[in-house]
């Protein structure tokens, strides 16, 4: 007979749903990370110094979040995706290459955030339904930080 609750006291059916959504989120973050790394490496133009540092700040933050998401999936009792084939199969963010224009780079960041934020809100709602405070806290923190990033990057583009 299968137990209804996992080792941390959460409903198994709900944690399975959460782990699937968290793996999709992990995949989004992995593609966002590698794209941002590319922006950092390839940026050119008069805003080089400013954007080079901003992109580095962003990819370092994404790297931390990637680890947190993977560890949350493990905490829930599931296995995080860990191959680019797996990431590419479920990510809503496409690979980007050879972006050297600052404004194009910022637009790609805003597009990635517009894909990630609704997914995080879905995860937040599901985690709240299941009293999963650990996942809930992560999503709440990420959403708050990223809403501010959307505002700041939009202001940079004057949109």
Burial of 9 (0-12, 13-18, 19+ CB in 10 A): exposed
The CATH number of 12-157 is 1.20.1260.10
pLDDT of 109: 98
At residue 54's C-alpha, the angle toward residues 52 and 55, to 5°, is: 65
Q: CA dihedral in degrees (76, 80, 86, 91; nearest 10)?
A: 60
pLDDT of 2: 64
Q: What is the pLDDT of residues 99-140, one digit of tens each?
A: 999 999 999 999 999 999 999 999 999 999 999 999 999 999
Task: Kindly give the parts of the chain with pLDDT less than 70.
Answer: 1-2
pLDDT of 3: 79
């Amino acid at each position: 007979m299968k137990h209804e609750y996992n080792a941390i006291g959460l409903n198994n059916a709900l944690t399975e749903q959460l782990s699937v959504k968290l793996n999709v989120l992990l995949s989004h973050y992995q593609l966002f990370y590698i794209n941002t790394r590319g922006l950092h490496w390839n940026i050119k133009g008069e805003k080089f110094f400013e954007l080079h540092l901003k992109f580095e700040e962003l990819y370092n933050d994404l790297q931390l979040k990637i680890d947190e998401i993977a560890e949350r999936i493990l905490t829930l009792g599931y296995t995080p995706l860990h191959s680019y084939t797996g990431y590419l199969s479920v990510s809503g963010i496409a690979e980007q290459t050879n972006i050297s224009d600052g404004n194009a780079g910022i637009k790609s960041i805003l597009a990635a955030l517009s894909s990630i934020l609704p997914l995080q809100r879905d995860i937040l709602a599901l985690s709240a339904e299941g009293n999963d405070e650990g996942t809930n806290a992560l999503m709440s923190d990420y959403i708050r930080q990223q809403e501010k990033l959307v505002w700041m990057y939009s202001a940079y583009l004057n949109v």
